Structure 1
Amino acid sequence: MWWSLLHGLGTGAGLIVAIGAQNAFVLDKGLRRQHPWRVALICAACDAVLIGLGVLGLGTLIAQSETAMSVARFGGAAFLLWLAWGALQRVLRPKGLEAQSSVMGRRQVMLATLAVTLLNPQVYLDTVVMLGAIGAVQSHPVAFYAGATFASFTWFFTLVGVTGYLAPRLKSPRVWQVIDGSIVVIMLVVAWQLLSLTPPQAAL
């Protein structure tokens, strides 16, 4: 049981911590102080549900459906391009942290968090397909699930905590140009990766 728990913790951390659209979004909201703890909770809770569904066998079904993978890829890429466009607008019209801190309300932030999580194919590949497939063959799937879920909660809340410490020190508009520029690059790279995958590759 302990091996499955540690395996889930390590594998979950390895996949979830990797820089991607979701982590860039959480980082952005944390630095802007736009309901960051709710953002972290939503991301971690969604991961917990998706990992659980994967361990129960949903990941295998999704990976075998070329149509489902294609819809996820193109829909996710379109959403990432939209996020990149928004960040690009902020690069072209930079503002300091205090000027941007009230741009999005709680409901908007929560809906955007759900969108960047549930419309992001990489999230499904990492949680439902990959973690789910690995967890399903463990001798103790529940322990693996617990470890992977713990890794997700720990990561997102730690990320938000760190950004909360950094936020007061990042008030310069020029600094935010760099941050938003980095977000543009990340979103474009992930979107390109999704669009360049063939259905068989996407299912791996």
Structure 2
Amino acid sequence: MATPVVVGFLASFTLIAAIGAQNAFVLRQGIRREHVAAVVTLCTVSDIVLIAAGIAGFGALINAHPAAVDVARYGGALFLIGYGLLAAWRAWRPSGLTPAEKGPARLVDVLITCAAMTWLNPHVYLDTVVLLGALANEHRDDRWLFGIGAVTASAVWFVGLGLGARRLAGLFASPVTWRVLDGLIAVVMITLGVTVAIG
């Protein structure tokens, strides 16, 4: 049986790896080699704060309202399965990822843009605060171990995406690569959703 750290890592990694505005921005900055360390740090620290808030908030909610466990479980399961189905749809009908040719060059402009894509994106809150918080609290006393795995996945993903983007630019320019990635995400998410639903 997988440990909470491993489950947290896999759950977080599959959520973070989905194609989105934030990842496209990090990928673009990596390809351009423009303020990559600052962007990666901002994304990672933001995820640490959001994941910790989700785990702490859901812990308090469950202590005050034990019935919230079922709501979190089935709501999270539906979201996971739905997310997996969307990933499967993207894998079936891919769209290329083409970062913009031009972008902000000054560090402050880059960080403002990155912060906006992170903190003004409602999906970030669903993924980290709501979904990962609910999944973490499925592990009760081990929920912070789940959190360690989740934030580790975030750091690994953003560092790998930002610093590896230059070498992977040709690979990720192909829709086939994103189809494979989305296909893997779909399998993991749907499996995790079913597992959560059946307890």
For the aligned pair, the TM-score class normalised by the smaller chain equals: 0.5 to 0.7
- Aligned position for 2:115: 114
Instruction: Give the Å deviation of 1:166.
Output: 5.0
Deviation per residue, 1:75-106 (Å, 9 max, x gap): xxxxxxxxxxxx99x5xxxx6xxxx57x4200
Match of 2:159 in 1: 157
| Partner AA of 1:158 in structure 2 | G
- Secondary structure of the 2:18 match is coil
Indicate the residue corresponding to 1:55 in structure 2.
55
Q: Spell out the pairing of 1:92-171 with structure 2 (5 A cutoff).
A: 100=102, 103-139=104-140, 140-166=142-168
**Matches of 1:37 and 1:164, distance apart in 2:** 14
CA distance in 2, matches of 1:127, 1:141: 14
Normalised by the size of structure 2, how large is the TM-score?
A: 0.60
Gaps of at least 5 residues in structure 1 are: 65-86, 170-177, 183-204
| TM-score using structure 1 length | 0.59
Name the CA distance, whole Å, in 2 between partners of 1:162 and 1:154. 11
Displacement of 1:58 after TM fit?
5.5
Alignment partners' CA distance in 1, 2:127 and 2:25: 17
SS at match of 1:104: coil
5+ residue gaps, structure 2, are 63-70, 73-97, 176-199
Give the deviation of 1:162 after TM superposition. 1.5
Percent of pairs identical after alignment? 38
Return the offset for 1:34.
1.8
Amino acid of the structure 2 residue aligned with 1:161: L
Aligned residue in 1 for 2:65: none
CA RMSD of aligned residues (A): 3.3
* Runs of 4 or more above 6 Å deviation: none
Deviations along 1:53-83, one digit per CA (max 9) or x if unpaired, are 000126979x99xxxxxxxxxxxxxxxxxxx
